[in-house]
Structure 1
């Protein structure tokens, strides 16, 4: 009986993991598109605040109706998680995006991304220190491979000077990204993924809009055409793509991935965003990636595979520790990255 139950669980976990990886890849591609799409707007004179607010605001317009449908009138669930939604909106939505854009105003894109994408390592450390979930050796090897791959993808071999203020902004983006991964992997809050994404985007747009209204956040925009993919396009086209695709699609698919893969694994798969950003920069901005960057992409993929193997090995150890015949699962908090996601109270 125990063997049959384990086999059934493995069968169910297979499609769940596959769909989770699909959602994670979709999210990485959508997020990776944001830089190449936003770059022409910055060149045309748009401010960081204006681009961020429009991206989040339009994302909220797209996602909120679907979030309301997914909530199905369960307002009590939303009230119980009000603090979580606010935290998600301020840190995972506004913090990650605004801090990153602020960082690249003072330092090169490569170092800023490298600092922000230490977030997966921060997630591993968080679960280790907060919940005693020590990562296995295979997971650690995967983390090292992914970090090395990022180093090559970001092409830092030539050396780069780091602006201290820019580094602080990039660290702020890292905190926002880590919060994003941890909350996405929490299954116990009861919020549907669409409702969480809608609430976070709405909180983020309201917060940034309030700062703009009182004059604390400079807003500069222009209706001049911008250059994109070798063509001149109206300003509203990249703005619409930023809102609908790089915010709406990215956050919804990212949350769906976190629910299926857990915080730790989904955070490592999201490293593919950097590879996607390089490819989109090549296609849209004619910035051809170098061979060393392609090597970095291969290393990132190897790191993701290693992390997955490490998580499966840990899950197998947990499953084997459950006595045969037990009808109830162990009350021990699950290992981050198991098929059901992060433990209760992840944040």
Structure 2
């Protein structure tokens, strides 16, 4: 099979099929959720969040470039004009800043809580659209905001003071802002460019930025094995193998699956289904890292998720880019 045949096959696969779209986005959410646990293992091997972010985005960029070179060479052409400005903004905020703040957050907070705070992004998007863009939104937006804020307060047990690491909470909130910015930037470029090219070059920008912040050559030397942590503490794995799995199965594959899912389902539906990720992260945190919520906190988490879904569906404009 030559490269043009492979590209044709991919186009045939992306013929609209709602059921396939659901399978793709659910699979992506599961992979992103598992990636949170593996990321902790990678950072537990001696990598700082900054070094780990550099390794992850650099590795993913190389895989994206290799894929484009084999199957879609047009994606290797650098965007121009306003498209390039979008790519730079996405690379700085939607990839580099988002990944860095997320990695710091999951290093300092329970996994599920970090994801729950990050996924406040759709609420921030709706607030921006309503008060900055002055666009109409459905009335349930206010219920969504109320549920999200009250639910987050319950999860954080604010009546006991801040029970979580302060820096971790700040980083998770910054991740939410970065995530929201990613959605908003994407809306300005509906249909203007190939999503693969936009994402590939955004990762190129992020790779350059992260290598300026924490160059690959400054990475600490990793040991031959690292603990799998939590309930798997008695087991170990090669840290480079863990990183390879994160790059391929925790970054490139779910990005690609969500790109394909957007060919089959509206972006609003894809985003709502992707809310499975913080739910899975809470389950993973309990099953793997012995992290658990009290019944009251679990109720707060449900309220946050309900608020996120209501916020996302209160909009009348859809986003088109896959989640980072």
TM range (shorter): 0.7 to 0.9
Match of 1:131 among 133, 150, 159: 133
Number of aligned positions between the proteins: 299
Going from structure 1 to structure 2, the CA distance change for 1:278 and 1:163 (only over 3 Å counts) comes to: closer
| Structure 2: 5+ residue stretches without partners | 1-15
Q: CA deviation at 1:32?
A: 1.8
Q: CA deviation at 1:249?
A: 2.2
Task: String of CA shifts for 1:17-65, please: whole Å, max 9, x gaps.
Answer: 6665544433332222222112223333221122112211222222223
Question: What RMSD, in angstroms, separates the aligned Cα atoms of the two structures?
Answer: 3.8
Length-normalised TM-score, structure 1:
0.69
- Tell me, yes or no, if the aligned pair for 2:95 and 2:203 is still in contact at 8 Å: yes
State how far apart, in whole Å, the 2-side matches of 1:21 and 1:127 are: 27
Match of 1:197 among 187, 199, 202: 199
SS at match of 2:251: helix
Query: Which residue of 2 is the match for residue 250 of structure 1?
Result: 254
State how far apart, in whole Å, the 2-side matches of 1:87 and 1:236 are: 30
Task: String of CA shifts for 1:161-191, please: whole Å, max 9, x gaps.
Answer: 4666555433332222112223445553522
State how far apart, in whole Å, the 1-side matches of 2:305 and 2:23 are: 14
Going from structure 1 to structure 2, the CA distance change for 1:174 and 1:306 (only over 3 Å counts) comes to: closer
Query: Which residue of 2 is the match for residue 226 of structure 1?
Result: 226
Q: CA deviation at 1:98?
A: 0.6
Q: CA deviation at 1:92?
A: 0.9
1:178 pairs with 2:180: yes
Q: CA deviation at 1:114?
A: 4.7
Length-normalised TM-score, structure 2:
0.73
Q: CA deviation at 1:238?
A: 1.6
Task: String of CA shifts for 1:188-230, please: whole Å, max 9, x gaps.
Answer: 3522222222222222122212333499xx6334133123362
Going from structure 1 to structure 2, the CA distance change for 1:310 and 1:19 (only over 3 Å counts) comes to: farther
Q: CA deviation at 1:248?
A: 0.9
- Tell me, yes or no, if the aligned pair for 1:20 and 1:258 is still in contact at 8 Å: yes
State how far apart, in whole Å, the 2-side matches of 1:146 and 1:253 are: 28
SS at match of 2:223: coil
SS at match of 1:79: coil
State how far apart, in whole Å, the 1-side matches of 2:178 and 2:296 are: 29
Q: CA deviation at 1:96?
A: 0.8
State how far apart, in whole Å, the 2-side matches of 1:226 and 1:138 are: 47
SS at match of 1:188: coil
- Tell me, yes or no, if the aligned pair for 2:60 and 2:203 is still in contact at 8 Å: yes
SS at match of 2:140: helix
1:261 pairs with 2:274: no
SS at match of 1:33: helix
Please identify the structure whose Cα radius of gyration is greater. Answer: 1
Going from structure 1 to structure 2, the CA distance change for 1:266 and 1:185 (only over 3 Å counts) comes to: farther
Going from structure 1 to structure 2, the CA distance change for 1:273 and 1:178 (only over 3 Å counts) comes to: same
Q: CA deviation at 1:276?
A: 1.6
- Tell me, yes or no, if the aligned pair for 2:57 and 2:203 is still in contact at 8 Å: yes
Query: Which residue of 2 is the match for residue 64 of structure 1?
Result: 65
| Structure 1: 5+ residue stretches without partners | 1-14, 312-334, 343-347
Query: Which residue of 2 is the match for residue 318 of structure 1?
Result: none
Q: CA deviation at 1:281?
A: 2.9
State how far apart, in whole Å, the 1-side matches of 2:260 and 2:189 are: 10
SS at match of 1:131: coil
Going from structure 1 to structure 2, the CA distance change for 1:214 and 1:56 (only over 3 Å counts) comes to: closer
State how far apart, in whole Å, the 2-side matches of 1:182 and 1:70 are: 29
Query: Which residue of 2 is the match for residue 209 of structure 1?
Result: 211
State how far apart, in whole Å, the 2-side matches of 1:160 and 1:136 are: 33
SS at match of 1:249: helix
